[in-house]
Structure 1
């Protein structure tokens, strides 16, 4: 019998990190248009530190806007706020934070993790049950690996492990490299919102870039080209 064809590999999706939220009203006004500009799988909400009640109210204001666009809302840290604010999950930094957060997040919510400097820690995160691993984000001192090193880590993970991997891109060029290396998601943030053309134009451009990179690296395995 002939071998069954391998299903086309889907193109990476975007993971959008919004600016630190203090007053969510401006973000609420701009997000519907922004999220309509590209295929955004999830939004990472970074909160300005204040009292819990205020942080919860800020997330609650963003939840319907993000979820109605078909994206998940993840809070950066602050696991204790996730359920109370109606968020879809949390992004943790480091194995200890992941391990401590899992009992409160699983099985209903997403637990993603970054801050994994070694391959051993990455594998340990996967074994613990992380829903995704993030490679390439700056450390506490603002340092990050080279683009090549991040792409190599993404490629290694993609070839060997099941949980999705995310590449933290600080430019359109990095987004291209990480999509080519096998990232399941590409996280973008500051450079999108700093673009003088507007965040929507920048997001649409980087979305097209990762589709182009994916099509080049993986043939026809791109969004919209899967057979009926």
Structure 2
């Protein structure tokens, strides 16, 4: 992996719903072997607290050992217990502001759930570390959702806070996302889907981004 992160849109992994944590750990290790990854977000997908914590305890150190930021969705207590690098919140502005007041500076605090420009601006006024356009588990079509692309393009042009835009199930869709000017492209099924080799998929995504993504500051 490069010592200096590339000066273009980077990959954020979204963990899929997982039945076998050990198997997912091996998938993640394979993905890490494929090249540059900025971070991974771990949603609970309805797991009970003990099961989600056990999953996070297994996955967070694997990510961190590869200099990948591990971000826990929604659960501040588990984020603290497992020593995560960040929190991802979709519970609205009040919860976001509370988390920022409590944790920002110690943890990355990101915001999701915005479906309109007004939603996004409202969350942005709380000054999260990033904003996410997309929904976990809904990257089941080859192309990114047009609304997420439009929001990402508008946000990247207007707002300094970094944004993440969800790609589709086709790894080639990272190019479409990068064209918006967003800082990060989120990938889940394109990396961890059935029959996919995570190492090859991450390598392919990075190669596409190297060839097509705009360079920041140029």
- TM-score, normalisation: structure 2: 0.82
String of CA shifts for 1:160-193, please: whole Å, max 9, x gaps.
2111011101133432111011010000001322
In the alignment, what sits opposite 2:120? 122
2:17 is the counterpart of 1:20: yes
- TM-score, normalisation: structure 1: 0.79
Q: 1:49 to 1:153 in 2, by over 3 A?
A: closer
Q: 1:30 to 1:117 in 2, by over 3 A?
A: closer
Confirm or deny: 8 A CA contact 1:21 1:47 kept in the other structure.
no
Mapping for residues 1-228 of structure 1, pairs under 5 Å? 10-47=7-44, 49-93=46-90, 94-137=92-135, 147-170=145-168, 171-194=170-193, 196-214=195-213, 218=214, 221=215
Q: Helix, strand or coil: the match of 2:135?
A: coil
Note the residue ranges of structure 2 that are not aligned, 5 or more in a row: 1-5
Query: Aligned partners of 1:138 and 1:63: how far apart in 2?
Result: 18
**Rg: which structure is higher?**
1
Q: 1:117 to 1:37 in 2, by over 3 A?
A: same
Cα RMSD (Å): 2.8
Query: Aligned partners of 1:175 and 1:199: how far apart in 2?
Result: 15
- The more displaced of 17-26 and 58-67 is 17-26
Note the residue ranges of structure 1 that are not aligned, 5 or more in a row: 1-8
Query: Aligned partners of 1:87 and 1:206: how far apart in 2?
Result: 25
Cα displacement (A) at 1:139: 9.3
